[in-house]
Amino acid sequence: MTSTRRRPGPRGRAVLLVLPALVPVVAVVGAALTSAALLSLGLAPLVGEPRLSLDAYRDAAGDLGTGIGLSLGIAAAATFVATVVGLCLALAATAAVRRSRLLGALAALTIPIPHLVGAAAMGLLLADAGFLARLLGVDPSSWPPLVGGPLWAAVVAEYAWKESAFVALVVAGVLSSRAASYGETAALLGAGRWARLRHVTLPLAAPALGGAAAVSFVYTLGSYEVAALLGRAHPEPLPVLAYRLFTSIDLAARPQAAAVALTTAGLALVVVLLSLRALRRLAAER
Amino acid sequence: MTAVRAVRAASRTGRTLLALWLVLPLVPLLLWAFADRWTFPAVLPQEWGTRGAEEALAAGAGGAFLTSTLLGAVVALLATPLGAMAGRALASRQVPAGTAVLAVLLSPLALPPFAVALGLDVLLLRLGVPAVGGVVVLLVVAALPYTTLTMRAAYAAHDRGFEDEARVLGATRWQTVRSVQLPLVAPALAGAAFLAFLVGWSDYIVTVLVGGGRLTTLPLLVASAASATGSDAQVAILSLTSILPPVALLLVVGSLGRRRR
């Protein structure tokens, strides 16, 4: 009886504090993944008897294959551009001489813009009668198909644009707190501009840069609306494919949609684990 | 001397290009928002006006603005205290298997939102959970990684000595939380709430998949206008309406954080 009246100790209190957040996350993520797995394996059909089968995966295999390649390609291209531009932004925003407050502020203001709005803006900018074509004076007939074209240029551009601001903010946060003193020491010891960049600034920025790149990659991989708005009807990246299958009037397509969703989730998980390993190795090299 | 000048010129060009990269996508939004007529190949609109705004209002932009604000506010109101409590517990290093618990709390960051929404949708339908409730729960879970991380960092830098002093001086546990702990982490709380608000404010796919047409938010209007042809002015004004409140909030939160420091 006394044990129920006693106040919980520090460990007990910590557990009580963490549970209100932990329970909904475990419930939602666990239930969503389980439900998708059962649906994709034929164990929770909307009509008919439950029967374990890999039919959904087999039926979706062709689209799934092209979707995986396309999604990985878009995410890789966008992350590459975002990382390079984001690093340049961070360097300019934290430079010891002629620091650009403007670039830091512009990057910060880009963060809260919803990706969907970014997609709408890229459409108005890059379409064949868009703002850029007008600025450059190019006729719509000779303008490259950036929106809805075979290279997914507008989709990649939108993700690269938004994520470059994210990368810039993360890297600038690390550099502003640590780079100045190291850079000054290196300069006093006679290191030139490039030597400081290569041997001081870049190694300091590398873990944050790698982490931000991994977050951007995983986000782009699982994001639906930009590719849906600025992409083409065929072939489809994984989120667009899953959405089409899920909202199809053909109920038999639902298990295939779940199969695509689980494949995307698995792919994202593999990327996260690989980047965690790479980041740990980077930290161990010091 | 010429080398120094060349480096300086290159750096200026580079900075101009970077600023252009960040700003250029927003320029057509600003121009289209107030363009009544803007035919190719004109670089600037031929007629300025409020056609876009009128079309947007007719499409239900007023109600959608309220719905989006409410959704963002509810998500922030739920995810911020939950994240603060979890962040406090994790920063105290008293949680058993703390690393694993943190990994679970961060897992929504790694999982594609459409995959979670799609998996849960069938289940919510079978359980008879109202669509709006489902959307809120999913978005709160999506926002928890941000609030937890922000508050964990804030509590890790937080000096518990102030709380111990208050307790020694006779304050109750709740008084200590309210008058000592919360004011000290207020800037971080504002930042966490802002991020959680953004999750609700910007969401598209969860609202579409789980909302089942019950919630018409601004992103839904932007998407439907952007996929139609000939409504560029409406797309632009809806987009600007989706950008301005979070940008204004960011400025407020930013100035709040600076003043406290």
Looking at chain B, which residue has its C-alpha nearest residue A226? B223
Q: Which among B40, B78, B99, B122 is the top mutation candidate for probing chain A, defined by the most A β-carbons within 10 Å of its own β-carbon? A: B122
For chain A, which ranges sit under pLDDT 70? 1-6, 179-180, 286
pTM for this predicted structure: 0.92
Q: Any idea where the domains of chain B sit in the sequence?
A: 2-48, 61-215
pLDDT in tens, B82-136: 999 999 999 988 999 989 999 999 999 999 999 999 999 888 888 888 999 999 9
Q: What pLDDT shows up at residue A2?
A: 45
What residues of chain B, 143 to 202, have a C-beta less than 8 Å from chain A? 144, 148, 198, 201-202
* Cβ-based contacts of A272 with chain B (< 8 Å): 110
Looking at chain A, which residue has its C-alpha nearest residue B144? A21
Q: What pLDDT shows up at residue A3?
A: 47
Q: What pLDDT shows up at residue B260?
A: 53
**Domains detected in chain A:** 50-284 (1.10.3720.10)
Q: Complex ipTM, two decimals?
A: 0.91
Tell me whether residues A268 and B42 touch, CB distance under 8 A.
no
Q: What pLDDT shows up at residue A5?
A: 56
Q: What pLDDT shows up at residue A286?
A: 66
pLDDT in tens, A194-227: 888 888 888 888 999 999 999 999 999 999 999 9
Q: What pLDDT shows up at residue A211?
A: 92
CATH-assigned architecture of domain B61-215: Orthogonal Bundle (1.10)
* Cβ-based contacts of A238 with chain B (< 8 Å): 112
pLDDT in tens, B151-198: 999 998 888 888 889 988 988 888 998 888 888 888 899 999 999 999
Instruction: Give the residue with greater pLDDT, B211 vs A162.
Output: A162
Whether the per-residue pLDDT at B211 is higher than 50: the answer is yes
Tell me whether residues A269 and B110 touch, CB distance under 8 A.
yes
* Cβ-based contacts of A123 with chain B (< 8 Å): 226, 235
Q: What is the 3-state secondary structure (H, E, C) of chain A?
A: CHHHHCCCCHHHHHHHHHHHHHHHHHHHHHHHHHHHHHHHCCCCCCCCCCCCCCHHHHHHHHHHHHHHHHHHHHHHHHHHHHHHHHHHHHHHHHCCCCCCHHHHHHHHHHCCCCHHHHHHHHHHHHCCCCHHHHHHCCCHHHCCCCCCCCCCHHHHHHHHHHHHHHHHHHHHHHHHHHHHHHHHHHHHCCCCHHHHHHHHHHHHHHHHHHHHHHHHHHHHHHCCHHHHHHCCCCCCCHHHHHHHHHCCCCCCHHHHHHHHHHHHHHHHHHHHHHHHHHHHHHHHCC
Q: What pLDDT shows up at residue B160?
A: 83
Q: What percentage of chain B reaches a pLDDT higher than 90?
A: 66
